[in-house]
Amino acid sequence: MTTDRLDAPYALARYRDGDRVQLGLVAGERIRPLGPDELGAADLNGFLAAPDWDRLASLAGGDGPWRDLAEVTLTAPVEPRQVLQTGANYREHVIQLVAAGLTQDGSRTPEEARAFAADMMDRRKAEGEPYFFIGLPACVVGDDVPLALPSYSDVHDWELELAVVIGAPAFRVSREEALDHVAGYTICNDITTRDLVFRKDMKEIGTDWYRSKNAPGFLPTGPFLVPTPFVDPSSLNLRLELNGEVMQDASTDDLLFDLPALISGASQTMPLLPGDLLLSGSPAGNGQHWKRFLRDGDVMTGSIEGLGTQVVRCVDEKKEERQR
């Protein structure tokens, strides 16, 4: 696990301890185990339901069984029961996609197409609603797990995203109260198999998010769960490098629907539970834009300001099976 500087005074993480995964408290370059006695709750999700950050602050500044963070292997910092994902939520990204489609038949100049797309997005933001779909919690892994690229496609793509970690249960909450139900934030890379997004056998069905986004390991998450008091999600930089080359570089201030709108909108249908993940969408610069998709040996380095850095190594599925 490679991490950048953790700006927060402390954060939560999970790490491998023999055959089990241990919850830990990270402070600076150190980590210590957290059990029910330290948490004041039975487990992580129980703590997140009513987080006592002062309790953890006291532990972060005290003595204890600290270890060097570099000595442990971090894994996904969350155990969600539900994963909700948001589509088409970065203004510039969607404008690029719409404008590219409008110029293919030559009926509009690039400038006309972009102006049309920008007006469409502004009207959607003012009058529309967020677009949600669901992912499988089983796909949530840490970057300690190599991303095995399924052999049934050659167009697996990356999508770096800011993820909300739900705290107190949220059901039909307003935008004004939505952020009161956030425990913290983490990083997700929403891997997508592009040629499976739309059904070919019956186009009327539309998108197939199950097959295109839910292969094993398709939601690398972490390294940290950073408490909400230490994060201003309204203007965070997101950056993804592929083998050292910058592919995505954007800010959350380009979101069409901000986090209060997303949390409120998602909670209208189903209660959001402590520890659940709500992904906020991915900015421009994925593989579909660059016409370059993931290959065996690729290394993705994804970072979000203040939340750390995850390093995901890609392997061919068949090669990984041979090495087992």
Tens of pLDDT, residues 53-77: 999 999 999 998 999 999 999 999 9
- Alpha carbon 133 to chain centroid, angstroms: 14
The predicted pLDDT at position 85 comes to 97
Taking only the tens place, the pLDDT of each residue in 225-248 is: 999 999 999 999 999 999 999 999
How remote is the C-alpha of 296 from its chain's centroid? Answer: 22
Residue range 173-195, pLDDT digits in tens: 999 999 999 999 999 999 999 99
Quick one: residue 243, left, alpha or beta (phi over 0 = left, psi -120 to 50 = alpha)?
left
* Mean pLDDT for the stretch of residues 253-279: 97
Residue 209's pLDDT is 92
What do you get for the CA distance between the two ends of the chain, in Å?
Answer: 21
Starting at the edge strand found earlier in the chain, the sheet holding 147-149 runs: 147-149, 308-316, 299-304, 237-242, 245-251
**pLDDT bracket for residue 320 (50, 70, 90):** low
Give SS3 for 222: coil
Q: What is the pLDDT at residue 1? A: 39
- The full set of domains in the chain, from first to last, is 11-75 (no CATH), 83-323 (3.90.850.10)
Count CB atoms within 10 A of the CB of residue 126: 7
- HSE-up of 79 (CA within 13 Å, CB side)? 14
Whether the predicted pLDDT of 3 surpasses 50: no
- pLDDT at 322 > cutoff 90: no
Pull the structure tokens for residue 70.
Answer: 């570099």
DSSP state of 62: S
**pLDDT value, residue 321:** 64
For the ranges 14-18, 115-119, 217-221, the lowest mean pLDDT is seen at 115-119
pLDDT digits (tens, 9 = 90+) for 85-124: 998 899 888 787 777 667 777 778 888 888 888 888 888 8
Closest listed residue to residue 138, CA positions, set 54, 74, 76, 59: 76
Distance CA 174, CA 233 (A): 18
Nearest to residue 251, comparing CAs of 183, 323, 311, 162? 162
From the DSSP assignment, how many helices (H) and strands (E) are in the chain?
10, 20
Please tell me whether the peptide bond between 223 and the residue prior to it is cis, using omega within 30 degrees of 0. Answer: yes
Q: What is the pLDDT of residues 120-161, one digit of tens each?
A: 888 888 888 999 999 999 999 999 999 999 999 999 999 999
pLDDT in tens, 267-309: 999 999 999 999 999 999 999 889 999 999 999 999 999 999 9
For residue 46, pLDDT over 50 is answered with yes
Contacts by 19-24, CB closer than 8 A, 24 or more apart: 21/75, 24/72
At residue 200, does pLDDT exceed 90?
no
Residue 314 confidence (pLDDT): 98
